[in-house]
Amino acid sequence: MITLKQVTTKIEMKQFVLFPFSLYKKNKFWVPPIIKEEIDNFNPKKNPVFKSADAQFFLAYKDKQIVGRVAAIINWSEVNTQHIKKIRFGWFDMIDDIEVSKILLDKVFEIGQKNNLEFIEGPVGFNNLDKTGVLIEGFDQLGTMITWYNHPYYKDHLEQLGFVKEKEYLENKFKFQNVDAAYYDRVSKILRARFKLKALDFKRTKDILPLVDEMFDVFDKTYSKLSTYVPITPEQVTYFKKKYISFINPEYIKFVMDENNKLIAFAIVMPSFSEALQRAKGKLFPLGILRMLKAKRYAKDVTFYLIGVHPDYQNKGVTAIIFDQYTKTFTKKGIVNCIRTPELEDNESIKKIWADFNPVTHKRRRTYRKDIS
């Protein structure tokens, strides 16, 4: 018999976070989170996303063993401001037993129904800075710290339970050697002169922090027209600074400024922490932090995390300035592979940005939806 229990205690929340560690114990492609950071992420006292969102967490049990988990999320900004009457589900993991999936998703359905919402979608997080999508291709590819990994049967469970494809995302990668450094150097010089722009590079994290708010303003303007976009609050920006900026090499953050010293484009790249996280096994201490610092300094693979261009400068080629910056940095660092985060399959503008690099799609992921009747 399968039973469901809502997470209400610290011990249960730790069990919620630890469940995938047993589910993927022998899987060489799964990348674990840092346990403490994951627990803090679900703490309303620490994560400001809870000022505009509600979440309930559930564990499924069979023979007194945990066999599944799910988070039921309502982002009230999305519901009340964008009038998208959706309940989200995320952090969705289970053994290969469709009855476990059913009891978990039925609970999400029930909460959505009680709140007069119209459909369920997932797996997704609280907003656009969270992980998204169930993996449907690329199970033999190493995961990243900013994506979920899952077994192939997740997709089958969802479809058998009546869920249908909502959005599809592609994950692409390319060899750094595919980048024509001379071309981007030449084009960057032309664009900077034509539009009176300048590129900013950094050596110290503290020099970046005063510009992070302005960066998220550009991020908001870049992606606000996408159907998937939920605005990021100032409190969430502050949380992002604390959680991520210190993990990122300052030389991997690039800004482009106009003649009035206003930020008009940016990109954030992360060194690959995947292998370091696997070896850390969810713990920063005593050795995990050293492995992370080593990866930060020496990793030969990088992940493009965020990129944004102000609408006034879109379709003017200014990403060439950013790529010129990265080309110079990556050459010094000896970077081999460039990995991109999930991008909407139908986002033609983002495809154009990367077209010259001969990217290869190595993973596909998908969100699923089901109407609440």
Question: What tens digit of pLDDT does each residue of 35-55 get?
Answer: 999 999 999 999 999 999 999
- Residue 223's pLDDT is 81
- Which domain-ending residue is among 149, 170, 191? 170
Determine the average pLDDT of the residues in 93-115.
Answer: 98
Domain count of the fold of the chain: 2
Residue 133: inside a domain:
yes
User: Of 326, 182, 355, which Cα lies nearest the Cα of 251?
Assistant: 326
Determine the average pLDDT of the residues in 166-179.
Answer: 95
The verdict on 302 and 229 lying in the same domain is: yes
The verdict on 275 and 302 lying in the same domain is: yes
Determine the average pLDDT of the residues in 169-176.
Answer: 96
CATH number at residue 77: 3.40.630.30
Determine the average pLDDT of the residues in 108-135.
Answer: 96
CA distance readout (Å), 155 to 62, 131, 163, 196, 291? 22, 17, 9, 49, 33
Determine the average pLDDT of the residues in 225-238.
Answer: 79
Distance CA 141, CA 154 (A): 17
Residue 371: inside a domain:
no
Determine the average pLDDT of the residues in 199-222.
Answer: 91
- Residue 240's pLDDT is 83
- Residue 74's pLDDT is 97
When comparing pLDDT for 162 and 285, which is higher?
A: 162
Distance CA 73, CA 69 (A): 13
Residue 370: inside a domain:
no
With cut-offs at 50, 70 and 90, classify the pLDDT of residue 222. Answer: confident
Torsion of CA 340, 346, 349, 350, to 10 degrees: 0
With cut-offs at 50, 70 and 90, classify the pLDDT of residue 228. Answer: low
Residue 277: inside a domain:
yes
Q: Tell me which residue has tokens 């997709």.
A: 155
Determine the average pLDDT of the residues in 177-183.
Answer: 94
Question: Is 371 a residue whose pLDDT tops 80?
Answer: yes
- Which domain-ending residue is among 122, 150, 170? 170
Question: Is 227 a residue whose pLDDT tops 70?
Answer: no
The verdict on 67 and 202 lying in the same domain is: no
Q: What is the mean pLDDT of the chain?
A: 94
Both tokens of 33, joined, read 């989170």
Question: Is 373 a residue whose pLDDT tops 80?
Answer: no
**Cα 293 vs. chain centroid, distance in angstroms?**
21
The verdict on 350 and 204 lying in the same domain is: yes
The verdict on 92 and 208 lying in the same domain is: no
- Which domain-ending residue is among 143, 170, 197? 170
The verdict on 51 and 148 lying in the same domain is: yes
Amino acid at the residue 32? P
The verdict on 313 and 234 lying in the same domain is: yes
- Residue 234's pLDDT is 85
The verdict on 159 and 189 lying in the same domain is: no
The verdict on 148 and 201 lying in the same domain is: no
Within 10 angstroms of residue 325's Cβ, the number of other Cβ atoms is: 22
The verdict on 182 and 251 lying in the same domain is: yes
The verdict on 70 and 191 lying in the same domain is: no
Cβ(277)–Cβ(145) below 8 Å: yes
Residue 354: inside a domain:
yes
Question: Is 198 a residue whose pLDDT tops 70?
Answer: yes
Q: Tell me which residue has tokens 């993927």.
A: 24
Where in the sequence is the domain holding 115, given as residue range(s)?
2-170
User: Of 223, 225, 230, 236, which Cα lies nearest the Cα of 77?
Assistant: 230
When comparing pLDDT for 222 and 327, which is higher?
A: 327
Structural element, H or E, at residue 157: helix 153-160
**Model pLDDT for residues 275-293, shown as the tens digit of each residue:** 999 999 999 988 999 999 9
The verdict on 60 and 180 lying in the same domain is: no
pLDDT > 90 in the chain, percent = 83
